[in-house]
A and B are shown apart, each in its own frame.
Chain A
Amino acid sequence: MTPFDATSGSHRPSPPPQDPWAQVGLALTLVAVDPAGLRGVWLRGRAGPVRDRILTALDPLAPRKLHPFMAEDALTGGLDLSATLALNTLQRHEGLLSRNGFLTLTMAERCPPDLSVRLGQALDARSGLSLVALDEAAEEGEGLPQALADRLALFLDIDVFGWSDTSDLVLDWPRIAAAQARLRSIALPSEALVQMTRLAATLAIDSLRAPWLALMAARAHLAWRGGQALTEDDLKIGVELVLAQRARALPQDAPEDTAPPPPEPPETDPDQGRERDAQEPQIPDDLLIEAAFAALPPGVLARLQAARAARTGAGGSGAGAKRKSIARGRPMPSRPGKPGSGARVDVVATLRQAAPWQAMRRAARPDAPAGRLLLMPGDIRIKRYQDRTDRVLIFVVDASGSAAVARLAEAKGAVEIMLAEAYSARDHVALVTFRGDHAELALPPTRSLVQAKRRLAGLPGGGATPLAGAMQVALDASLQARARAMSPKLAFLTDGRGNIALDGTANRAQAGEDAMRLARAIAARAIPTLVIDTSLRPKPQLSELAATMNATRIVLPRADARAMAATLGAALGG
């Protein structure tokens, strides 16, 4: 019945956790004991019978359901129009966030940044509110938004469980109630505070919420087992359930985690903890670190090794990319506005807006025809969609002498085909060209096919190759696009023989240096980039440059326009 019962109450040393499923039961128990302290559970895994078992166990908490695209007034409450009109007095309905209790956030991996932040704020402001986030992330990079991941104490990865590993979970509610009563009287010993904070720092966890939440988990565990003082077992639970998942470095790494060395098994590193903690810690840190290791979810070790690369990727991608993933067909709340200019009137919202004022308006205009709704311009609500794809393809086309004229014609053709495709996909396109002593933004981001074609056709060829200048123009255009919440992508079509430096001088060495510097700047901002090498015999400079930009490089010495466009389309993700 309650398999996790076995783990509580006893003091036997227990790394690694003997029964992972029991650990799940314990985690749920702890969050039920102290929802205000732990704030909630981050449950990663696919929907299925295993997840259902977990959610069934939480049923007695009567969680309310929340999904990522709920309307504003469902969250914060609003006017209850039908009740208001029926009773002729103001009736409001309560929002999900304005009441205490448990919320279940479904499809948490799709939670847009603004909602995650608002949920975070709600959790901060209302200690009676707790959240179970159901994260079905399938791929690397998807997942619960940081604003929530940082606040929810407990992490459970349930994809590791097969159906046969699990059994029905029934929480021991009377005992939970007793633990809740004990919770208030438990004081956290100073050594525990110190130790948990140190340990979190050793695992390179930046946020100070983490050690605090781990302490809360330890305290809840103590209350649950009904002990007198915090012991190693309690702290270990905090480490396993809270800190392990957040670890960004292994203990033997430098805390800065600049160059994570390959992780070694924990038992080869007994020294560091002892040396540092000469001031009689209550419990050896080693044991806790071991606990952290044992509790590391599968894949985390690999993640830690790749931590640095992953972090630049995630950190630099900016708002545009994130927003794009939530943009698809999402209707936005209606706004007041004027009809016409292509806007569509949201009839229902407009009627809702007008309804409460009818009595008042009728009183002001007794001559108005009976039985008709009195609408005012201010009632009109306009529909809004996030229908743009938010993508800008910035083509950087080499029109210099070294890029042979025939090749330029192919490049132009490819860009034209891409333009047509972009047009149907409602992408924006921009064009940077470079030749002679300068590069220019020949076409700022646009959806106008005609304009783009005209600019391309008029593109002259010949002259020197100011590649660095072109990269700068392209970078500026990308950053501007990002500032407008669009996702820029760069496509270079060049043979890469840059010979004009940023300052306009014909200095090949300086030109190469400038180009590398810009390549690093482009990489640092994680702008997805594609380099099409159009030279007959590909040179190492360009491949080096492409590598520095983290770009995909495609060699197309003899491609015709259609093949080039197909390649571009595939490489840029369709």
Chain B
Amino acid sequence: MTPFPFAAIVGQDEMKTAMVLTAIDPKIGGVLVFGDRGTGKSTAVRALAALLPPIQAVAGCPCNSATAEDCPDWAQVTDLALVERPTPVVDLPLGVSEDRVTGALDIERALTRGEKAFEAGLLARANRGYLYIDEVNLLEDHIVDLLLDVAQSGENVVEREGLSIRHPARFVLVGSGNPEEGELRPQLLDRFGLSVEVTSPKEIETRIEVIRRRDAYENDHATFMAQWQPEDAALRTRILAARAALGDLKTSNVVLHDVASVCLALGSDGLRGELTLLRAARALAAYEGAPDVTRDHIRRAAPMALRHRLRRDPLDDAGSTARVARQLAEVLP
């Protein structure tokens, strides 16, 4: 069955905005969705795939290289034609083995032909695309280490059987999880550009609408998709327009100053917070067709860009969202 259309997701505006922003500017670096069960976290991520504009890639290349020169030698790519393909959104399942993530020797070719050949893993497939980890907080530690390492260097290196394989692995991390099942290491948290917290909708009308659309999606699929696919298409067009507008967007010194002071006041770790906040605010401005980035854009982008980068304060029961809001009110009146 075709995935649930993104535009048909009821409510959850912050989550949807965050995903749109990362589609506009992948450099923002992915989204982490944390929240209750049954709130449509993974539905939204799977729906995101339909919004992403296609990429140009070499047809035969296992790691979606943009040009023939970029193809790694080991891949022995024969089909060098450039084709348009959907932006890859690759699932990283829990319990996955290291070999499947990084790639390993092709066991079939070794057995049947006695050849040493490399079989690309999930990291290769996710290159230039998105890597999605559902229940990211339950991922095994050694896989997390591996991801952090690759995300840092943008390259995957495998040494096996005297083969030394390397290929680019630049991907945007998208994760979802339920905080009750375990926490995330700060190093991994930091890899996510934006983070949002979702809760079950409280308004009864919203809840009813969720159930209605689910019913329509499951039991009247064709009609439902015919109704919503145009909306998804319109959103995709808007994302493309925003991408194009991103370059011409003006960012005043005042705005830069605002970004710095918000991050300073919150004591968010490192420069990544500032950069991400600025990128997210720019993407938001572009999405809304604004000529320049304003304080309002910063104010709205700050919670999702910063809430997962705060130092833990065990005495503050309010939670990080409230802390960001409090500081925003003070710093950007």
Contacts and interface: CB of A to CB of B under 8 A. Distances in A.
A201 B209 CA distance: 13
A13 B205 CA distance: 30
A208 interface: yes
Nearest to A146: B37
Interface stretch (A112-120, A280-288, A400-408, A423-431): A112-120
Interface string A344-370: 000000000000110111011000000
Contact of B181 (A113, A124, A517): A113
B250 interface: no
Interface in A189-232: 190, 193-194, 196-198, 200-201, 206-212, 215
B107 A90 contact: yes
A193 B110 contact: no
Contacts of B212: 190, 193
Given A118-B93, A207-B37, A208-B211, A319 B114 contact: no
Interface stretch (A71-79, A132-140, A161-169, A294-302): A71-79
Interface stretch (B65-73, B147-155, B276-284, B310-318): B310-318
Contacts of A187: 219-220
A475 B314 contact: yes
A76 B160 CA distance: 24
A197 B200 contact: no
Interface string B108-122: 101110111000000
Interface stretch (B13-21, B94-102, B232-240): B94-102
A465 to B, nearest CB: 20
Nearest to A476: B314
A563 interface: no
Interface in B164-196: 178, 180-183, 185
Given A114-B94, A208-B207, A357 B161 contact: yes
A556 interface: no
A77 to B, nearest CB: 12
Given A197-B208, A201-B207, A206-B36, A521 B111 contact: no
Contacts of A322: 181
A206 B38 CA distance: 8
A376 B220 CA distance: 56
B107 A356 contact: yes
Interface in A427-478: 472, 475-476
B138 A75 contact: no
A208 B138 contact: no
Given A113-B182, A187-B219, A209-B37, A517 B315 contact: yes
Interface string B6-44: 000000000000000000000000000000111110100
B53 to A, nearest CB: 26
A318 B180 CA distance: 6
Interface string A504-539: 000000000000011011001100000000000000
A475 B215 CA distance: 47
A201 B204 contact: yes
A483 interface: yes
Given A150-B37, A359-B114, A524-B317, A212 B211 contact: yes
Contacts of B161: 357, 361, 376, 378
Interface string A82-126: 001000111000000000000000000000011001100100100
Given A198-B204, A335-B142, A521-B317, A72 B95 contact: yes
Nearest to B140: A114
A193 B314 contact: no
Contacts of B317: 520-521, 524
Nearest to B135: A117
B105 interface: yes
Q: Is the interface of A mostly helix, strand, loop or mixed?
A: helix
A518 B219 contact: no
B274 interface: no
Contacts of A378: 159-161
Given A206-B36, A521-B317, A146 B180 contact: yes
A319 B183 contact: yes
Interface in A27-85: 72, 75-76, 79, 84
A15 B174 CA distance: 48
Interface string B203-244: 010011011101100011000000000000000000000000
A572 to B, nearest CB: 22
B110 A206 contact: no
A211 B220 CA distance: 19
B258 interface: no
A121 B212 CA distance: 23
A90 B108 contact: yes
Interface string B280-316: 0000000000000000000000000000000010110
Given A193-B208, A198-B204, A360 B94 contact: no
A83 to B, nearest CB: 11
Contact of B315 (A196, A483, A518): A518
A89 B111 contact: yes
A113 B138 contact: yes
Contacts of B215: 188, 193, 215
A197 B135 CA distance: 27
A206 B199 CA distance: 9
A117 B94 contact: yes
Interface in A309-344: 315, 318-319, 322, 335-336
Nearest to B186: A483
A90 to B, nearest CB: 4
Contacts of A520: 317
B134 interface: yes
A170 interface: no
A72 B111 contact: no
A454 to B, nearest CB: 29
The CB with the most chain B CB atoms within 10 A, among A72, A124, A361, A378, is that of: A378
Contacts of B116: 360, 364
A356 B182 CA distance: 38
A376 B40 CA distance: 46
Nearest to A118: B94
Contact of A319 (B98, B105, B115, B182): B182
A126 B191 CA distance: 30
A378 B204 CA distance: 57
A479 B185 CA distance: 12
A209 B38 contact: yes
A208 B210 CA distance: 8
Contacts of A255: 202
A117 B107 contact: no
A571 interface: no
A124 B42 contact: yes
Interface in A480-500: 482-483, 485
Nearest to A198: B204
B261 to A, nearest CB: 26
Interface string B76-107: 00000000000000000111011000000101
Given A207-B200, A356-B111, A319 B314 contact: no
Contacts of B200: 206-208
A147 interface: yes
B312 A479 contact: yes
Nearest to B99: A336
B219 A188 contact: yes
Contacts of A206: 36-38, 200
Nearest to B37: A150
A149 to B, nearest CB: 9
Contacts of A364: 116
13 contacts: A118-B94, A121-B134, A187-B219, A187-B220, A196-B211, A197-B208, A207-B37, A208-B211, A319-B137, A356-B107, A359-B114, A483-B185, A524-B317
Q: Which 7 A-B pairs have the closest CB atoms?
A: A207-B38, A319-B182, A209-B38, A90-B108, A206-B200, A360-B114, A117-B135
Given A207-B38, A208-B207, A255-B202, 15 more contacts: A76-B93, A90-B111, A117-B138, A121-B135, A146-B37, A147-B178, A147-B181, A206-B200, A212-B211, A335-B98, A356-B107, A356-B110, A357-B105, A364-B116, A517-B315
